[in-house]
C-alpha cells in the first residue's frame, strides 16, 4: 500500500492540466465521493498496526498534494482568463528561438588557413580582383606566349587586353613586393577567375590563399617545414606530406604538394583514387627574375611561395563531392557547417 500511495503522489505532482476542466477532473478522481482517497481510507483499516503511522502520514500527504495541486491549477486558469481579457503578455514564456546562420564552408576554411599561418607570423594582404597584365602575368615571369594568358583561361576586359580578372592571387604578392622591403611574410586570400566550363570539379570563380616569405637565407627546407606545419594543423597531427617536382613560371625549383589521404589515412580509398595521397597546393622558391621585377635584390634575398585552392581543401576536409554546391546557396547544404572560425 505504501508503494501504491507513493506512486499516486508522484502522478499527482507531475499532472499537467490544459484547462480548468482538467483540474476539476483531477479533484473528482481523488477527492470525489467515489474517488481514490475514499477507497484508500477503506483499505487503510486493514493495515497492520505497526505500519499505520507511516501509511497514515503518506495518505495525508497524498490528500494535501491533490488539494494543493487543484487549487494552484484553478487559480492559474482563473488568472489566465482575466489576463486574456486584458490581452496582456506572459513575460515568463520562453522567447522564440532565433536561428542563427552558419558561415559558408569556404569562409570557414579560408579563415582557418589564415589563422594557421598567422600563428607563425604571416600577415594578410589583399589586392584588386581586376588586374593588369603586369601584376597578374609579366612581373611573375610569364613569357608573352604563355598559354595561361590565352583567352581560354583568362577573362579579359573587352577591348583592353591589358586588363583582366586575376587568375591567381600571386598578383597581390607582386604588389606587396613592390610596395615593401623584406623581410616579407604574407598570405593573400581572395577570389580568382578562370575561363573554365563549370562542372563538379571545376568552376570559373574560386578562392585561393597564396603565401610568400622573403628574407635573407630562406631555403627550400624552410618551405617544406612551413608546409608540413600547415598540413598537420589543417588535416591532423598524423598527416604526412610529399613534394613532387613541378613547373610554375614564377618559382624555381617548383613543386606540387600532396598530403596523406585524411579519409583512409593513406591506405587507399576512392577519394585518393587508391594512391593514399591528395594533391593540395603548388609551391617553390621565388624565381630571381620575379624578385628583380619587383625591385628586390635577388643576390641578397631569397624566398618561397605557395598557393592553394580553398574549394579543394574544403572538399577534402568535409568530403564535398561537387564544387557547384558552394555556389547554390542551398540551405540543406549550408546548414551542415558550424565552426569556431
Residues making contact with ligand PHE (CB under 6 A): 168, 170, 210, 248, 251, 282-284, 305-307
What's the min distance (Å) between Cβ of 263 and ligand PHE? 24
Nearer to ligand PHE, 27 or 149 (CB): 149
β-strands 277-286, 302-309: how paired?
antiparallel
Shortest separation between residue 222's beta carbon and ligand PHE, angstroms: 14
- 168/207 with CB nearer ligand PHE: 168
3-class DSSP assignment, residue 91 = coil
Alpha carbon distance 105, 335 (integer Å): 10
Euclidean distance between CA atoms 34 and 93, whole angstroms: 38
The per-residue DSSP string of 227-273 comes to: HHHHHHHHH-TT--EEEEEEEETTEEEEEEEEEE-TTTTTS--TTTT
Query: Closest separation between CB of residue 215 and ligand PHE, Å?
Result: 17
3-state secondary structure of 85: helix
Residues facing residue 188 across a β-bridge: 210
Alpha helices in the chain (DSSP H): 2-13, 20-31, 36-44, 49-86, 105-118, 133-136, 170-179, 220-235, 288-293, 310-318, 325-328, 331-334
Q: Read off φ and ψ for residue 15, nearest 5 degrees.
A: -65, 135
- b vs e for 319-338, b when ≥16 Cβ sit within 10 Å of the residue's Cβ? ebeebebbeeeeeeebeebe
Give the shortest CB-193-to-ligand PHE separation in angstroms: 11
62 versus 313: smaller Cβ distance to ligand PHE: 313
Which residue's beta carbon is nearest to the bound ligand PHE? 307
Which residue, 137 or 235, has its beta carbon nearer to ligand PHE?
137
For the bound state, the minimum distance from the C-beta of residue 311 to ligand PHE, rounded and expressed in Å, comes to 13
Q: In the complex with ligand PHE, which residue's Cβ is closer, 94 or 245?
A: 245
Output the smallest distance, CB 153 to ligand PHE, in A: 11
Question: How buried is residue 86: exposed, middle or buried, by Cβ count under 10 Å (0-12/13-18/19+)?
Answer: exposed
Residue 13 has which C-alpha cell?
A: 505532482
From CA 138, how far away is CA 151, in angstroms rounded? 16
Nearer to ligand PHE, 24 or 129 (CB): 129
Least CB distance to ligand PHE at residue 295 (A) = 19
Q: In the complex, what is the shortest distance from the CB of residue 253 to ligand PHE, in angstroms, rounded to a whole number?
A: 11
Integer Cα distance of 156 and 144 in angstroms: 15
CB nearer ligand PHE, residue 110 or residue 168: 168
Kindly tell me which of 239 and 254 has the beta carbon lying closer to ligand PHE. Answer: 254
Amino acid at each position: 500500500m505504501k508503494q501504491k500511495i507513493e506512486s499516486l503522489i508522484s502522478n499527482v505532482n507531475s499532472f499537467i492540466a490544459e484547462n480548468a476542466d482538467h483540474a476539476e477532473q483531477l479533484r473528482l478522481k481523488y477527492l470525489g465521493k467515489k474517488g481514490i482517497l475514499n477507497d484508500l481510507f477503506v483499505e487503510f483499516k486493514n493495515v497492520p498496526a505497526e505500519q499505520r503511522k507511516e501509511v497514515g502520514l503518506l495518505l495525508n500527504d497524498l490528500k494535501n498534494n491533490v488539494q494543493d495541486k487543484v487549487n494552484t491549477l484553478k487559480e492559474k486558469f482563473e488568472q489566465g482568463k482575466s489576463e486574456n481579457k486584458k490581452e496582456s503578455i506572459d513575460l515568463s514564456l520562453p522567447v522564440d528561438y532565433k536561428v542563427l546562420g552558419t558561415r559558408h564552408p569556404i569562409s570557414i576554411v579560408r579563415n582557418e588557413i589564415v589563422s594557421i599561418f598567422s600563428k607563425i607570423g604571416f600577415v594578410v594582404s589583399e589586392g584588386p580582383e581586376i588586374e593588369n597584365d603586369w601584376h597578374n602575368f609579366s612581373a611573375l615571369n610569364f613569357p608573352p606566349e604563355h598559354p595561361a594568358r590565352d583567352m581560354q583561361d583568362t577573362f579579359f576586359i573587352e577591348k583592353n587586353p591589358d586588363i583582366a580578372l586575376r587568375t591567381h592571387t600571386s598578383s597581390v604578392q607582386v604588389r606587396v613586393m613592390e610596395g615593401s622591403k623584406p623581410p616579407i611574410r604574407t598570405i593573400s586570400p581572395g577570389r580568382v577567375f578562370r575561363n573554365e566550363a563549370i562542372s563538379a570539379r571545376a568552376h570559373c570563380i574560386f578562392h585561393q590563399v597564396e603565401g610568400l616569405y622573403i628574407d635573407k637565407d630562406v631555403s627550400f627546407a624552410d618551405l617544406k617545414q612551413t608546409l608540413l606545419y600547415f598540413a598537420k594543423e589543417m588535416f591532423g597531427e598524423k598527416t604526412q606530406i610529399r613534394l613532387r617536382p613541378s613547373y610554375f613560371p614564377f618559382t624555381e625549383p617548383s613543386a606540387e604538394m600532396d598530403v596523406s589521404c585524411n579519409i583512409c589515412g593513406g591506405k587507399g580509398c576512392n577519394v585518393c583514387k587508391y594512391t593514399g595521397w591528395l594533391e593540395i597546393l603548388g609551391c617553390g622558391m621565388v624565381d630571381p627574375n620575379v624578385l628583380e621585377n619587383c625591385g628586390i635584390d635577388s643576390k641578397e634575398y631569397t624566398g618561397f611561395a605557395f598557393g592553394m585552392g580553398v574549394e579543394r581543401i574544403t572538399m577534402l576536409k568535409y568530403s564535398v563531392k561537387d564544387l557547384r554546391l558552394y555556389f547554390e546557396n542551398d540551405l540543406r547544404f549550408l546548414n551542415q557547417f558550424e565552426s569556431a572560425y
